[in-house]
């Protein structure tokens, strides 16, 4: 007995003291004040290596993939390029600013001054609703070189085949390809996820297929009734707010003005007034009915509750990194039964695209660099995860990031993430899984379409105002959804929505036929 007690005491003391020894070491660095981040362009890395025989390419980026990154990664990257037969190295140049328009001024200045730029990242866009898309603007301002001629060569085909043909469609502007779209989530399907634990707890029998959310109503009522007395933070959400995702679920996309476009029965793009669409109205009425009955939570804290897995049903766009084989990664991994609602669309790329600078004097090498990064997993792994053993380790073949002062470029790196090591819920055959998902997605009905607004600009502006005014419908803030939509439609008719739709549809038809 004495021995047992002693063992327990020793165990407790040692566990605590060894933890505090560690934290003690970690907690006593000298006081320091971090320097203010530079807002001037900074070059990484410092070129102290012996690369004198190699040509230097300059890659200009918005910093999302370079700021705070360990410079050793770029040194290793260059050494790896040379090992793999390249006769060039790369200098990454970025700008550190929270004002993303500064980068737009900066890259235009580089061109105006004729400074060396070979690869250009067009930069992240303006915040939602500000209407500045960096990729088409870069093309419009002549910053990017068309890649079509390069892609048509034998070497170019190697890069072309690295991605789904729709990825190339998405970076075409006026029939020319100006960038590489290596986004791993080229298209992300919409799913209805049902939490298995909650299903089992309430003994709910799920249908084979779900045609309408109404099929779940009895289950939602059962859960809501049972959770009535539970604290809001701890109660299970019967279904979370799906209204902001409604367009995606229904396969609709919206133009800047708020006018919706879908494929009609014959597969042609068709513009229409969303607020008059029967399916849209029906879903909105269901949603508002659920809010009234306490089946759907619309408060801000619902977001956190959902992350903890406290829900029965949720509708989400999920990539294989966060949802695979019946497991959904939230704060913890939870088991789900999932129904696919929509394959999602491949959209026209608008921001942060990588291409060859139009004024580059090293275009051949720049194209070769893009090919190497996107087809060689060693280069892509280094660019995404950093240095093995320093920035990441592999556990059962999956990446686990390590604690480092200087980070790896990560998710927004220029790597082709389809060919890098799996992370999250991804599996070893992730490339095939992503390729399958990409192949199922359709091009958005407005991908590549540019509306000529000249004859309807004023009316479009008015229509946009009406749609904007009624945005609160998606957060459940209206009392009577049917009457609200009727009122919105009266205002849209006053704004000449029918004439505008006729004009847009005429343009869509001509564009589609071309």
Partner 1 sequence: MSNKKTLKLKSIAILIIAASVIFTFTVCASPSPYLSREYGKVSIYDTVATSSIDIRKGTVTTSFNDGKAGYRPSSVEVTVDYVAINTVTLVPYTIRQTRGSNYFIGLNGTRPNSNYRSWRVRGTHKVTYGQQSWTAITEKYY
Which residues form the interface with partner 1 (CB under 8 A)? 3, 6-7, 10-11, 14-15, 18-19, 21-23, 26-37, 64, 67-68, 98, 100, 124-128, 183, 185, 188, 244, 303, 307, 316-317, 347, 350-352, 401-404, 407, 410-412
How far apart are CB 169 and partner 1 at their closest, in Å?
16
What residues have CB less than 8 Å from 279, skipping those under 6 apart? 250
Q: Which is nearer to partner 1, 108 or 390 (CB)?
A: 390
Q: 115 by DSSP, 3-state: which?
A: coil
> Which tokens is 379 given?
């280069």
How far apart are CB 390 and partner 1 at their closest, in Å?
12
Q: Which is nearer to partner 1, 7 or 440 (CB)?
A: 7
> Which tokens is 312 given?
């029965």
Q: Which is nearer to partner 1, 390 or 464 (CB)?
A: 390
Note the Cα 342 to chain centre separation in Å.
Answer: 17
Q: 322 by DSSP, 3-state: which?
A: coil
How far apart are CB 278 and partner 1 at their closest, in Å?
27
How far apart are CB 34 and partner 1 at their closest, in Å?
4
How far apart are CB 346 and partner 1 at their closest, in Å?
10
Q: Which is nearer to partner 1, 183 or 430 (CB)?
A: 183
How does DSSP classify residue 455?
T
Asked if 81 contacts 372 with a C-beta cutoff of 8 angstroms, the reply is yes
For every residue of 460-490, which 3-state class applies, written as one string?
HHHHHHHHHHCHHHHHCCCCCHHHHHHHHHH
Element (H, E) at 364: helix 363-375
Q: Which is nearer to partner 1, 82 or 124 (CB)?
A: 124
Element (H, E) at 337: strand 333-342
> Which tokens is 255 given?
């133009």
Q: Which is nearer to partner 1, 404 or 455 (CB)?
A: 404
Q: 117 by DSSP, 3-state: which?
A: coil
How far apart are CB 471 and partner 1 at their closest, in Å?
13
Alpha-carbon gap, residue 163 to 109, rounded angstroms? 32
How far apart are CB 317 and partner 1 at their closest, in Å?
7
How far apart are CB 39 and partner 1 at their closest, in Å?
13
Q: Which is nearer to partner 1, 157 or 450 (CB)?
A: 450
- Other beta carbons within 10 angstroms of residue 367's beta carbon come to 25
What residues have CB less than 8 Å from 49, skipping those under 6 apart? 75, 78, 79
| 323-324, strands of its sheet edge to edge | 296-297, 237-240, 311-317, 190-195, 333-342, 327-329, 323-324
Q: Which is nearer to partner 1, 244 or 397 (CB)?
A: 244
How far apart are CB 18 and partner 1 at their closest, in Å?
4
What residues have CB less than 8 Å from 136, skipping those under 6 apart? 173, 350
Q: Which is nearer to partner 1, 124 or 222 (CB)?
A: 124
* DSSP string for 7-48: HHHHHHHHHHHHHHHHHHHHH-PPP--PPPPP-S-EEES---
How far apart are CB 351 and partner 1 at their closest, in Å?
4
């Amino acid at each position: 007995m004495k021995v047992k007690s002693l063992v327990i005491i020793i165990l407790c003391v040692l566990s605590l003291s060894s933890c505090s020894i560690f934290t003690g070491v970690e907690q006593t660095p000298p006081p320091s004040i971090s320097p203010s981040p530079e807002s001037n362009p900074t070059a990484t890395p410092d070129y102290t290596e012996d690369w004198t025989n190699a040509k230097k390419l300059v890659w200009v980026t918005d910093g999302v993939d370079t700021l705070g990154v360990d410079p050793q990664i770029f040194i290793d990257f260059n050494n790896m390029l040379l090992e793999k037969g390249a006769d060039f190295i790369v200098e990454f140049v970025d700008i550190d600013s929270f004002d993303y328009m500064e980068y737009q001024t900066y890259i235009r200045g580089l061109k105006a001054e004729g400074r060396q730029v070979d690869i250009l990242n067009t930069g992240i866009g303006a915040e939602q609703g500000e209407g500045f898309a960096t990729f088409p603007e870069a093309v419009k301002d002549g910053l990017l070189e068309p890649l079509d001629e390069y892609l048509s060569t034998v070497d170019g085909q190697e890069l072309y085949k690295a991605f789904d043909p729709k990825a190339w469609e998405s970076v075409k502007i006026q029939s020319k390809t100006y960038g590489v779209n290596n986004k791993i989530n080229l298209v992300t399907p919409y799913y209805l996820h049902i939490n298995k634990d909650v299903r089992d707890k309430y003994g709910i029998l799920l249908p084979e297929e779900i045609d309408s959310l109404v099929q779940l109503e009895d289950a939602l009522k059962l859960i809501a009734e049972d959770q009535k007395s539970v604290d809001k933070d701890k109660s299970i959400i019967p279904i979370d707010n799906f209204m902001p995702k409604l367009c995606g679920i229904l396969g609709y996309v919206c133009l800047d003005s708020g006018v919706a476009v879908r494929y009609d029965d014959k597969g042609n793009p068709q513009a229409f007034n969303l607020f008059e669409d029967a399916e849209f109205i029906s879903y909105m009425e269901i949603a508002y009915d659920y809010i009234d009955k306490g089946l759907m939570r619309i408060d801000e804290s619902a977001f956190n509750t959902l992350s903890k897995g406290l829900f029965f049903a949720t509708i989400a766009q999920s990539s294989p990194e966060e949802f695979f084989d019946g497991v959904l990664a939230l704060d913890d991994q939870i088991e789900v039964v999932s129904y696919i609602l929509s394959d999602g669309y491949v959209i026209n790329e608008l921001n942060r695209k990588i291409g060859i600078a139009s004024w580059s004097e090293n275009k051949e090498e720049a194209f070769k660099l893009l090919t190497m990064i996107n087809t060689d997993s060693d280069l892509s792994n280094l660019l995404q995860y950093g240095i093995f053993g320093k920035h990441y380790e592999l556990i059962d073949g999956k990446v686990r990031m390590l604690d480092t002062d200087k980070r790896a470029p990560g998710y927004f790196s220029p790597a082709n993430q389809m060919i890098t090591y799996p992370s999250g819920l991804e599996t070893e055959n992730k490339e095939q899984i992503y390729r399958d998902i990409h192949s199922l997605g359709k091009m958005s009905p407005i991908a590549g379409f540019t509306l000529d607004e000249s004859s309807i600009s004023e009316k479009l502006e008015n229509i946009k105002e009406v749609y904007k005014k009624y945005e609160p419908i998606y957060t459940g803030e209206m009392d009577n959804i049917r009457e609200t939509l009727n009122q919105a439609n009266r205002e849209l008719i006053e704004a000449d929505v029918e004439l505008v739709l006729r004009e847009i549809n005429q343009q869509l038809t001509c564009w589609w036929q071309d």
